[in-house]
Amino acid sequence: MTLDWFDRVTEELQDDLESICDKYDQIGHMSIDKGAKHPRIEFFVELENFEREYFCTLFFDPFNNEFYIESFDLDLDLTSRTILEDIEDIIDVVHESFHDFINDDDDYEEAIEYRADDEYEEEYYEEVDDDAEEYETLEVDWETPEVTAYIDDTEEVEITYKFGVIPETGDGILQRINRVRTEDDDLIKDEFNFIFSKDEASTIIAMIASHMDSIKSMDVE
């Protein structure tokens, strides 16, 4: 059992999907869950209140070393799997699924409006805030997509990470995104960035690895 093929595909998808479709590049996102029995890659757009609309899920069978998608046959009441042999098949499936999604005008238009509102608010903030330079958004080359580190369906909590490099300084950046759904069905999104140099990275990794046994799981009360 190996995840080499899974890791290679996720790396290529991050680059290929940004250029495969202009509309996807505007609003499309992907997240990775390697903790499941069959790891999966999920593709989605963010709607208002940080809600997600998923339009495609790729599953990976680590025992047979193959990707597949699932579909449900209403007539036979059965779930079937379609095996995806190579990266071209995988990209085609995601591309087709996205275009099927945007044909649903309501969801697609809501996603576009949400993205447009975000851009407007950012521009307005830059124009009227005299201290904007202190909060200038960093330019980051993201090397990985969002990877799911923890998820609790009961408490409706999700924690994801992604890693990037800041071109201007050459420093690494680790972004932690925490999403929590409240009792009022509001989704709270909390984002934290940790920046470090190459010289610090090995020390950080060694310190964490040496003390893993002292850290409690989030599932342990």
Kindly tell me if the per-residue pLDDT of 74 is higher than 60.
yes
Kindly tell me if the per-residue pLDDT of 116 is higher than 50.
no
Amino acid identity at 118: D
d(CA 56, CA 161): 20
Residue 68: the pLDDT is: 93
- The reported pTM is 0.51
Kindly tell me if the per-residue pLDDT of 83 is higher than 90.
yes
Which is higher by pLDDT, 106 or 33?
Answer: 33
Residue 82: the pLDDT is: 92
- The angle at the Cα of 178, spanning 24 to 199, to the nearest 5 degrees, equals 90
Query: Which of 75, 71, 48 is closest to 58 using CA atoms?
Result: 71
| pLDDT tens digits, one per residue of 125-162 | 344 444 434 334 668 888 888 888 888 867 678 899 99
Helix (H) or strand (E) holding 84: strand 78-84
The distance in angstroms from the start CA to the end CA of the chain is 32
Residue 95: the pLDDT is: 83
d(CA 47, CA 6): 28
Q: Report the percentage of the chain scoring pLDDT > 90.
A: 10
For domain 138-214, the question of CATH label 2.20.25 is answered with yes
Residue 60: the pLDDT is: 92
d(CA 108, CA 45): 9
Confidence class for position 120, pLDDT limits 50, 70, 90:
very low
Which CA distances in Å does 126 have to 121, 130, 167? 9, 8, 22
Three-state SS annotation for 135-194: HCCCCCEECCCEEEEEEECCCCEEEEEEEEECCCCCCEEEEEEEEEECCCCCEEEEEEEE
Residue 51: the pLDDT is: 72
Mean residue pLDDT of the chain comes to 76
Every domain of the chain and the residues it spans: 4-128, 138-214
